[in-house]
Structure 1
Amino acid sequence: MTSAVTTDTSARPGYGQLLRTPGAIGFVLPGFAARLPFGMLTISILLLVQHTTGSYGSAGIVAAVTGVSMALSAPVMGKLTDRRGQSAVLVPVVLMHSAAVSTLVVLALLGAPVWALALAAVPAGASVPQVGPMVRARWAARLEGSPLLPTAAAFESVTDEFTFVVGPVLATALCTGVHPAAGLITEAALTLAGGLVFAAQRATQPKLHTVAAGGEKHASALSFPGLRVLIVAFLGIGAVFGGMQVSLAAFSNEIGNPGANGLLYGVFAAGNMTAGIACGAIAWKIGPRRRLLLGYAGLTVAASVLWTAHSMILLGALGLVVGLCIAPALITGYTMIESLIPANARTEAFTWLTGAVAFGQATAVTVAGRLTDAHGSSYGFLVPMAGTVLALATLLALRSSLAPKAPSRIISSSAGTPAAGAPEVPAARVNERGVGHRVPVTVD
């Protein structure tokens, strides 16, 4: 028995094996450079507009418009990408985004009114390139039927979390130490350079999906109830990100140390990334639906006590715990897309989740900005609590929608039963040639 366990553990796919996938490095590195600005955009807008207007409420409005615009455009961008290809969509988008952000910077520095800044924020948000979903779609295409898929999902979530470690800290350092506009200028430059290099990696692009397998036009990803439930869950996660950004910035100003904002948010995001790395190294024994519910319950409890912190040390500790709880929910949600959504709509599905985070973040930034202006940072921390409570209640009520429908499509094969402890893979999968894969099924 001991020998069998040792063999299974050593055979478990890891990050090193994942990155040795042919062509992986070619899209992973520029993909990271192009998505890093996503972690910089909201906080850079928040700090620049607050500097020019003196109001967190006004800054929150502009940042919220950016987030809502991105949330609305992301699924459209994902659907176009599934049909026309990543490069065809990405190149014009990154050019548009750089121009839109530059316009927003100029208007802010000229002292334009809030309505003008909000108007300029619409194209800035709508043109945010959906590089993260594009990278996930490339992994899904390269690893069809492979036990490395859960590892890839964990790796991508770790990469996302790393952008939320480096992005806000870098943006805060640039805005407070160099110039209030330096964060947005850097964000636009990184988006342009990274996006163009990523778009040039055409060999690893997923094939176009203009029709479904039976020759009929495939349904929108939003037509699958499991995705709609995950969207609600990711709205709550976005509420944590947005509420933390505003409230930590306000708290740092209240204690007379604005630079502490980057440190506190970095601790929060570092916990997020650390948990993500750990999740990718674990061979889970429980199903993804139960993991999502347990992870979200922990996140809700942790977010519900943030408002009680009145010292930098205590707030840092609580922020670390909140960060540790976010990664399992994010990783599990993205992994579940593999079993809930067909391949010809996955990029769209990933963009719905990314858009949900952005929309939740935008709403939280607006509400938390108003609350902190009127009552202080403690009230701003109530926003993550409210967002996670509502999302958890929805998950519990509609958890049956998260059960994968794939088992009815299993095609038997002569492959042997997988070893116990192997990483879980979606319960059923049919590759592009119509060949069925027998894969492990984890009981939820």
Structure 2
Amino acid sequence: MVATVAQKSTSPRPGYGQLLRTPRAWTFLLPGFAARQPFGMLTLSIVLLVQHTTGSYGAAGAVAATTGISMAVSAPLAGRLTDRHGQRAVLVPVTLLHTLSSLTLTALALAHAPLWTLFAVAVPTGATVPQIGPMVRARWSATLRKSPLMSTAAAFESVTDEFTFVVGPLLATALCTAVTPAAGLVAEASLTLVGGLLFAAQRRSQPPVIRTERTRARRESAIRVPGVQVLIVAFFGIGTVFGGMQVSLAAFTESIGRPGLNGVLYGVFAGGNMLSGIVCGAIAWQGAPHRRLLGGYTALALAASLLWMSDSVLALAGLGLLVGVCIAPALITGYTLVGDMVPAGSRTEAFTWLTGAVALGQATAVTAAGQLEDRYWAGAGFLVPMTGTLLAALTLAALRSRLTVRH
């Protein structure tokens, strides 16, 4: 995936087995895996709970969107604080605050509290989502440095993210439909607390804090890198796919009287994403990463443009699988590019910008798709991922020169 690796070597990409034998890797991978599962559960758990208590997908989507927007706004700040003060110093307090906020939101929804109170609590719930994914990527960067395994690590992390989006929605749907509508958020808070604190306890693999002058830190902020700005737009578009799929699939399966299929259909979509990521990680790419990103993203936009025309479970499953297959290459290439674009002292911040962009896109899509589902036909929300990916693809095409990594 990294351009310099592909140019300097024609040997096969180092495998996943070699990556996982990296000393101390499992000390942060296992707790990190548990702690990042809630990221795939939070939005859908909120949608299912609030829709159950209010009867409106529009209201449910808006509350979930508030959480996503809050996370998107706060994530880069958390990333900068992490780069300056260390992961443990940031992770412990945000983990505790997120657990408290998530449980408070659950209690208010069950008590049928005024809608404005749900919005109020959704803000700290989103703002305190632990940025485990970026922290794991930063640990890989610190552990592997310039090793060829870095590109394999980027693919592995994207596969792990996609597995999160397989397990998270399935778990949230199963808990909310088979146990109680509140079970999804309760499980999300519990996993965040346990996984987050265990991850924070792994100090030996934590990246060192790079001390810089304040003016220099401001100058090297990741958002000032032009390529990062373009990637933020691309990841925002990917977020619209996740958010649009979650709401639209839930509305569609409910409209046909089979709400339990929601998690299955979303699992097919995310499963395609994960399997595609595994394949991408096993290939020793030779072409320029920014060209692969543009080609893969174009395919994603075209596939997402077909979703709104689906009128059966089988059609949605097939198209969802296709869309999922197209997402992984874009995510993997984007994360690899941003890792090469920014200095080590801003790397966590850079990763959180992309994570925040996905969350913002997801939040926007949840809101827009919820409104479309309430006002029009079941499945109208699929127009949102189509619009988001098409606009992002056009942006990538227009600004592709900014994605060239210069060494």
User: Normalising by structure 1, what TM-score?
Assistant: 0.88
What is the aligned partner in structure 2 of residue 411 from structure 1? none
The answer (yes or no) to whether the contact 1:295–1:328 under 8 Å persists in 2 is yes
- Letter aligned with residue 363 of structure 2: A
The answer (yes or no) to whether the contact 1:82–1:209 under 8 Å persists in 2 is yes
CA distance in 2, matches of 1:209, 1:88: 14
**Cα deviation 1:268-320 (Å, max 9, x = unaligned):** 00000000000100011211101100110010000000011000001100000
Residue 378 to residue 201, structure 1, CA distance change in 2 (3 Å):
same
- Letter aligned with residue 105 of structure 1: T
Task: Give the Å deviation of 1:338.
Answer: 2.1
The answer (yes or no) to whether the contact 1:250–1:376 under 8 Å persists in 2 is no
- Larger radius of gyration between Structure 1 and Structure 2: 1
CA distance in 1, matches of 2:333, 2:113: 43
CA distance in 2, matches of 1:215, 1:67: 30
The answer (yes or no) to whether the contact 1:218–1:344 under 8 Å persists in 2 is no
What is the aligned partner in structure 2 of residue 288 from structure 1? 289
What is the aligned partner in structure 2 of residue 145 from structure 1? 146
State, as a whole percentage, how many aligned pairs show the same letter: 67
CA distance in 1, matches of 2:290, 2:172: 35
CA distance in 2, matches of 1:15, 1:205: 21
After TM superposition, the structure 1 = structure 2 runs for residues 232-381 of structure 1, keeping only pairs within 5 Å, are: 232-381=233-382
What is the aligned partner in structure 2 of residue 413 from structure 1? none
What is the aligned partner in structure 1 of residue 174 from structure 2? 173
CA distance in 2, matches of 1:346, 1:100: 28
After TM superposition, the structure 1 = structure 2 runs for residues 75-86 of structure 1, keeping only pairs within 5 Å, are: 75-86=76-87
Alignment partner of 2:204: what SS? helix
The answer (yes or no) to whether the contact 2:103–2:189 under 8 Å persists in 1 is yes
Alignment partner of 1:400: what SS? helix
What is the aligned partner in structure 2 of residue 397 from structure 1? 398
Task: Give the Å deviation of 1:377.
Answer: 2.5
CA distance in 1, matches of 2:91, 2:350: 17
What is the aligned partner in structure 1 of residue 220 from structure 2? 219
**Cα deviation 1:64-87 (Å, max 9, x = unaligned):** 000000000000000000000000
The answer (yes or no) to whether the contact 1:40–1:171 under 8 Å persists in 2 is yes
CA distance in 2, matches of 1:82, 1:52: 40
What is the aligned partner in structure 1 of residue 32 from structure 2? 31
CA distance in 2, matches of 1:228, 1:145: 24
Alignment partner of 1:377: what SS? coil
What is the aligned partner in structure 2 of residue 88 from structure 1? 89
The answer (yes or no) to whether the contact 1:230–1:353 under 8 Å persists in 2 is yes
- Letter aligned with residue 103 of structure 1: T
Q: Which has the higher helix share?
A: 2
**Cα deviation 1:23-51 (Å, max 9, x = unaligned):** 10000110010001000000000000000
Task: Give the Å deviation of 1:340.
Answer: 1.0
Task: Give the Å deviation of 1:215.
Answer: 7.4
User: Normalising by structure 2, what TM-score?
Assistant: 0.96
- Letter aligned with residue 68 of structure 1: I
Task: Give the Å deviation of 1:12.
Answer: 3.1
CA distance in 2, matches of 1:279, 1:211: 36
TM-align CA RMSD: 1.4
**Cα deviation 1:48-70 (Å, max 9, x = unaligned):** 00000000000001000000000
**Higher alpha-carbon deviation: 215-224 or 240-249:** 215-224
Task: Give the Å deviation of 1:218.
Answer: 4.9
CA distance in 1, matches of 2:348, 2:339: 11
CA distance in 2, matches of 1:362, 1:377: 19
What is the aligned partner in structure 1 of residue 74 from structure 2? 73
The answer (yes or no) to whether the contact 1:295–1:325 under 8 Å persists in 2 is yes
What is the aligned partner in structure 2 of residue 130 from structure 1? 131
Residue 9 to residue 395, structure 1, CA distance change in 2 (3 Å):
closer
What is the aligned partner in structure 1 of residue 23 from structure 2? 22
Task: Give the Å deviation of 1:337.
Answer: 1.2
CA distance in 1, matches of 2:339, 2:363: 27
Task: Give the Å deviation of 1:376.
Answer: 2.1
What is the aligned partner in structure 1 of residue 160 from structure 2? 159
CA distance in 2, matches of 1:10, 1:221: 32
**Cα deviation 1:308-365 (Å, max 9, x = unaligned):** 1000001100000000000000000000012211111010000000000000000000
Task: Give the Å deviation of 1:209.
Answer: 1.9
Unaligned runs of at least 5 residues, structure 2: 1-8
**Cα deviation 1:206-235 (Å, max 9, x = unaligned):** 1102217x9776521100000000000000
Alignment partner of 2:268: what SS? helix
* Greater relative CO, 1 or 2 (CA 8 Å, sep 6+): 2
Unaligned runs of at least 5 residues, structure 1: 1-7, 407-444
CA distance in 1, matches of 2:51, 2:211: 45
The answer (yes or no) to whether the contact 2:175–2:183 under 8 Å persists in 1 is yes
Residue 216 to residue 264, structure 1, CA distance change in 2 (3 Å):
closer
The answer (yes or no) to whether the contact 1:165–1:269 under 8 Å persists in 2 is yes
- Letter aligned with residue 150 of structure 1: S
CA distance in 1, matches of 2:116, 2:207: 40
Alignment partner of 2:258: what SS? coil
Number of equivalenced pairs: 399
